[in-house]
């Protein structure tokens, strides 16, 4: 029978159902437990772990809170080193851990920190209870020395990729504008769902990403580019109206600016800065009493939004690749320049 004994055999024991497997030549226990159990028994060794990044914890806290509320939170296992603590009983398939012992966290520090902040700051007992009892899977590596712990930490984190904002939106995260993005991409009356990039953070073949669609919705309805740009007016009562306006904008944009096709070879119509700047232009003219289609047919479509447009060439920059295509970034400076150019088109047409 495989047994690993306690460093402190006189401490009271807490039992966890566990399975023992070999991974990378090491004994690894897989356990499902509650967040409150993990918080109680984990320890951070600064010789192995990096410092906690507050901004990463804040982003995870928001994501976790929204996901738990919708019961759609899925995480990869948290990874620990036993540091010779605990005892595995192969017959009963149980891991017994002393109540005064700690296991060392190797991967998942930021997730746990986010969970702890939600628990400590929540004023609603129901939410606090749900988070404390949220089930997670953990893996505990046995018999690792400090050198192996550092190597495992490095191997895990050198290959880890942060979840993109686009994928967070696709999985149900984000605010009401993220919800508009999901619903419009799924059921737009004239644009195929295949035109929207759901998973990757960028696209070179499709129309726009969900993240860009969320920014368009925010801009056309509230004049803001993202969550950090300030408070918004969207709520459950006006949600359908805001969704309808976003849908109308995309319909007219694809019809009049893109000519109903995705052409990245000669056109700049799929450029995010251009699309968002047009949405901003329409937002700024929302009180003029004119329909959205007027601006598309009488002003915006009168200019050629192509790679040969000299004004756009001045705003953007040429790629270093053999294609030498013009790219326009999404910085506030570049968007201001595009918006300024749109107003120059309007002035030229109106005289």
Sign of the CA dihedral running 222, 122, 106, 93? negative
Query: 3-state class of 107 per DSSP?
Result: strand
Q: Are residues 36 and 81 in the same domain?
A: yes
> Which strands make up the sheet holding 13-23, listed edge to edge?
42-43, 103-107, 78-81, 135-141, 26-34, 13-23, 94-98, 87-89
Residue 316 shares a structural domain with residue 177? yes
pLDDT at 7 (0 to 100): 43
The predicted pLDDT at position 5 comes to: 40
CATH code of residue 47:
3.90.1530
Q: What is the rounded distance in angstroms from the CA atom of residue 216 to the CA atom of residue 10?
A: 62
User: Which of the listed residues 143, 159, 175 is the one where a domain comes to its end?
Assistant: 159
Q: Which residues of 130-164 are buried (b: 16+ CB within 10 A; e: fewer)?
A: bbbebebebbbbbebeeeebbebbeeeeeeeeeeb
User: 212-240 in b/e burial notation, b at 16+ Cβ within 10 A?
Assistant: bbbbbbbbbbbbbbebeeeebebeeeeee
What percent of the chain shows pLDDT beyond 90? 44
Per DSSP, 327 falls in state E
Domain-ending residue, one of 159, 191, 226? 159
pLDDT of residue 45: 64
Tens-digit pLDDT profile for residues 77-91? 899 998 888 889 889
Q: Residue 1: is its pLDDT beyond 70?
A: no
Query: Between the ranges 107-121, 216-230, 274-288, where is the mean pLDDT highest?
Result: 274-288
| Same-domain status, 220 and 300 | yes
Tell me: pLDDT of 9 over 60: no
CA distance to 107, 213, 247, 306, 311, per residue, from 250 (Å): 42, 9, 5, 19, 24
Query: 62 vs 327, which has greater pLDDT?
Result: 327
Q: Does residue 187 sit in the same domain as residue 51?
A: no
For the chain, the domain total comes to: 2
- Note whether 108 and 181 are same-domain residues: no
Whole-number pLDDT of residue 47: 62
**pLDDT average, residue stretch 259-273:** 92
pLDDT attached to residue 44: 65
**What is the rounded average pLDDT of the residues 318-345?**
85
Domain end call among 135, 159, 183: 159
Domain that holds residue 139: 13-159
pLDDT of residue 105: 87
Query: Is the pTM of the predicted complex or chain greater than 0.75?
Result: no
In the chain the first and final C-alpha atoms are separated, in Å, by 90
- 3-state SS, residue 223: coil
Q: Which of the given ranges, 14-28, 108-122, 155-169, 268-282, has the highest pLDDT on average? A: 268-282
Whether residue 132 is found in the same domain as residue 277: no
């Amino acid at each position: 029978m495989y047994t690993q004994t306690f460093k402190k055999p006189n401490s009271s024991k807490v039992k966890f159902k566990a399975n023992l497997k070999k991974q990378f030549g090491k004994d690894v226990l897989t356990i499902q437990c509650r967040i409150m159990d993990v918080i109680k028994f984990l320890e951070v060794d600064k010789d192995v772990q990096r410092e906690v990044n507050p901004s990463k914890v804040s982003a995870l806290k928001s994501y976790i809170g929204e996901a738990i509320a919708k019961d759609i939170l899925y995480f990869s296992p948290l990874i620990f080193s036993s540091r010779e603590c605990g005892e595995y009983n192969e017959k009963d398939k149980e891991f017994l851990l002393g109540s005064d012992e700690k296991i060392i966290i190797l991967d998942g520090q930021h997730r746990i920190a986010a969970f702890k902040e939600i628990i400590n700051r929540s004023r609603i007992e129901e939410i606090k209870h749900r988070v404390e009892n949220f089930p997670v899977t953990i893996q505990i590596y046995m018999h690792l020395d400090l050198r192996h712990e550092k190597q495992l930490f490095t191997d895990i984190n050198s290959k880890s990729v942060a979840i993109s904002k686009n994928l967070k939106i696709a999985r149900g995260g984000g605010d009401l504008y993220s919800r508009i993005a999901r619903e419009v991409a799924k059921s737009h009356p004239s644009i195929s769902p295949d035109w929207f990039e759901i998973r990757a953070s960028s696209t070179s073949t499709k129309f726009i990403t969900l993240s860009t669609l969320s920014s368009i919705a925010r801009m056309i309805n509230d004049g803001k580019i993202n969550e950090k740009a300030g408070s918004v007016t969207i709520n459950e009562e006006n949600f359908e109206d805001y969704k309808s306006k976003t849908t109308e904008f995309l319909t007219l944009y694809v019809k009049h600016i893109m000519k109903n096709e995705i052409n990245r070879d000669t056109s700049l119509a799929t450029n995010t800065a251009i699309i968002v700047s047009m949405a901003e232009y329409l937002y700024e003219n929302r009180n003029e009493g004119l329909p959205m289609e007027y601006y598309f047919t009488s002003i915006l479509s009168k200019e050629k939004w192509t790679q040969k447009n000299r004004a756009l060439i001045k705003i953007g920059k040429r790629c270093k690749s053999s294609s030498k295509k013009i790219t326009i970034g999404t910085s506030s400076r570049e968007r201001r320049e595009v918006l300024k150019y749109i107003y120059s088109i309007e002035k030229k047409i109106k005289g």
